[in-house]
Structure 1
Amino acid sequence: MDGQLQGTTKAFLQYLQIEKNYSPYTVEFYHKDILSFFMFMSEQSIDNLESVEYSDVRIYLTRLFEQDLARKSIARKISSLRSFYRYLLREGLVAHNPFTQTSIPKVEKRLPDFFYEEELAILFGSCDLKDPLGQRNRAILELLYATGIRVSECCGILLQDIDFDLSTLLVHGKGRKDRYVPFGNFAHEALERYITYGRKDILAHFNKEHQYLFVNSRGGPLTTRGLRTVLNSILERSSFNGKIHPHKLRHSFATHLLNNGADMRTVQELLGHASLSSTQIYTHVTNDYLRKTYQAHHPRA
């Protein structure tokens, strides 16, 4: 990559981090998508971003399909590059956006994967509460399930964000949008145990001091990548055979609320969704749940 492309890319990524407040995980995907397109430009002997035409984009799209990539991955790459060129256009670095006319492949809508309550009980029970890291792991599980917060939101929690008197959490969400989310007795107990004993022991052992709620095994703030590793380790120690990822706990939070009678608007606010359409996918899950329940219990189903 020449110096001009490198500088432009760096400026765009800083824009995503600072102005759009995107998580490091999201910015990393944007970076990879842009670098992939730069390789294509090199192969096509396209010297600069201004020279890219709609016909080039069509060739690039064909190449992506030839790689047997999932439609979701292709859609993300095109969306990333469209945003990149929109930024370049705004900054006066190009005169047109060749990705404007490109239609993003329709992505098959998959129902959110969630845990049943029995499965969650297995995961919660696998945490060793006599061990500081086990106390941390239990607190992470309880809080993610109790609040439905995102991974980046979880890792960004500071001690002063927790109000134990009201059992509420101040969450710093996407786009610098803060919201208050309540948590229940199980999360309350797990957090108090972890903060009073586990967290204090880990920080003292490594002579660390900071305000981040969740710490890694060396006492530093827990990163999003580290949190995923923690969840995988919990799964390995349990007798549960399924898969786990942070969003599965978020999906479980929303699904269980709706299954137990919560209204859509409330769930939307708790999840921090900007629009109700993002929350409505869970109605498919709950409708499926209702249908199965009906078939299992109605005498004439």
Structure 2
Amino acid sequence: MAKTRYKGVYKDKNGVIFYQAELGIDKITGKRIQKKGRKTKLGKPFTNLKEAHDEMIRVQTEYNQSDGISDYNMTFERFINSEYKIAYFAGKESSTRLNADVNFRQLVERFSNKKLLNLTVRDVEAYRLYLINESGKKQSYARQIWNRLRLALDYAVRMGYMESNPCRKTEGVTLGKQFADFWTFEEFQKIINVIDTSKYIDRRNFVMIWLMYFTGVRVHEGCALLWKDIDFKEKRLRVNKTLEMWRDEDGHHHFRVKNTTKTPAGMRWIELDEITLDYLKNWKEIQAGGQEDDYIFQTYDGCAYRWTVAGAIKKYAKLAGVKNVSGKALRHSHASYLINVLQKDVLYVARRLGHTNPSITLRHYAHWFNGQGISISDDLTANMMAFGLAGLDKK
């Protein structure tokens, strides 16, 4: 390691800056205490030597103020709520914070008053096996919770509360082979044929499910759509925002539009077929509102959200006798329709779904692909007409 002009601050052979501080002798264990760090208190790598030096001084000061005794009584719950969440949430989107907070509550429920220093490999391994075998959670969700725990304990090590992370001594939660849940075209036809479009809410739900199935928009993209996003003349739909939920200090939920999509590639135009345009025109005429700045799928108290979509899917799936799926499955269903029914190629599917790279499309849907394709509007219209799907909102 290369010395620098700051005592205790070095650069490794790759030029990465770090500090190594001598903190003295632990009054309980009698062991020499050294602290090495490569990141700030917020977990970001040092960008310059002074930053590393300032962090080293902060660590030394905190240790001296504790009279040379580390916080041996730091519990998992206090660590998560008083330190880790503050660092983790820094700079994160509100939707990300909400999702992570659910996982943190689950972890605290499990380990609560367990002292960090007493957390063993057996403790975390038991929890890993519980997530996989007993929790009843999907493997992808179990993996998400496990990764939250692993990263939290990494931070605890960096902050000096633990000597090592027990999660790093076990295996992870693997995803295995994943296949997207979706409705086949036949299942979709059963769904839309049980919806009574003479009722206002059911009419809205009909158009909502239809549009998401035949465009593949993400649920939060679909819920954020305004009437001005529909270009009836050019026969296309603009996707340029998402609807997100945030929680105020009193714990109340609110909604707001974020003028970005999940990725830059998500900012796109999606061409629409004649039948979908007809359903949208008819819905706009009878919708309470129907102005350019109104949500297409607005509710009595504002806007539709993911649970609006999930509730509608559950209701009609039960009536039609088909499997209940998530709102995200409508997006997968659209991909299945493009690939299996219309036989579109990977580049077209990736562009229409707003994927950053076709490799993402292949990772999810490689087992479906066959055929080639360029345009879709005429194909969509012809296919829907052939199956008698036009005019269903007038029955």
8 Å Cα contact 1:156/1:212 also seen in 2: yes
How many Å apart are 1:12 and its aligned residue? 3.6
Q: Which residue of structure 1 aligns with residue 359 of structure 2?
A: 277
1:148–1:240 Cα change, 3 Å? same
How many Å apart are 1:222 and its aligned residue? 1.0
How many Å apart are 1:269 and its aligned residue? 1.9
Alignment counterpart, residue 129 of structure 1, candidates 197, 205, 211: 197
Bigger fraction of residues in helix: 1
Normalising by the residue count of structure 2, what TM-score does the alignment of the two structures yield? 0.57
Q: Please list the CA deviations of residues 221-259 of structure 1 after superposition, one character each: whole Å capped at 9, or x if unmatched.
A: 1121222112222334x3333223222221121112122
% same residue: 21
8 Å Cα contact 1:155/1:222 also seen in 2: yes
Distance in 2, matches of 1:225 and 1:155, equals 11
Q: Which amino acid aligns with 1:189?
A: D
Normalising by the residue count of structure 1, what TM-score does the alignment of the two structures yield? 0.72
Alignment counterpart, residue 207 of structure 2, candidates 139, 144, 151: 139
* Pair 1:150-2:218 in alignment: yes
Distance in 2, matches of 1:83 and 1:269, equals 34
Q: Please list the CA deviations of residues 94-123 of structure 1 after superposition, one character each: whole Å capped at 9, or x if unmatched.
A: 899946787532212232233222221221
8 Å Cα contact 2:80/2:104 also seen in 1: no
1:233–1:74 Cα change, 3 Å? closer
Q: Where does structure 1 lack aligned partners over 5 or more consecutive residues?
A: 19-23, 204-208, 288-301
Q: Which amino acid aligns with 1:161?
A: D
* Pair 1:228-2:310 in alignment: yes
How many Å apart are 1:14 and its aligned residue? 6.4
Q: Which amino acid aligns with 2:297?
A: F
How many Å apart are 1:278 and its aligned residue? 2.8
1:111–1:66 Cα change, 3 Å? closer
Q: Please list the CA deviations of residues 178-231 of structure 1 after superposition, one character each: whole Å capped at 9, or x if unmatched.
A: 222222222212221112113438x9xxxxx96222122x24211212221122
Q: Please list the CA deviations of residues 163-190 of structure 1 after superposition, one character each: whole Å capped at 9, or x if unmatched.
A: 2222222223214652222222222122
Alignment counterpart, residue 5 of structure 1, candidates 64, 81, 89: 81
1:8–1:264 Cα change, 3 Å? same
Highest CA radius of gyration, 1 or 2? Answer: 2
Distance in 2, matches of 1:5 and 1:191, equals 47
1:95–1:180 Cα change, 3 Å? farther
- Greater relative contact order, per chain length (Cα 8 Å cut-off, separation 6+): 1
Q: Which amino acid aligns with 2:91?
A: Y
Q: What is the number of residues matched between the two proteins?
A: 264
Alignment counterpart, residue 31 of structure 1, candidates 101, 120, 126: 101
8 Å Cα contact 2:181/2:329 also seen in 1: yes
- Does the residue aligned with 1:174 lie in a helix, a strand or coil? coil
1:235–1:40 Cα change, 3 Å? closer
Distance in 2, matches of 1:93 and 1:226, equals 42
* Pair 1:250-2:331 in alignment: yes
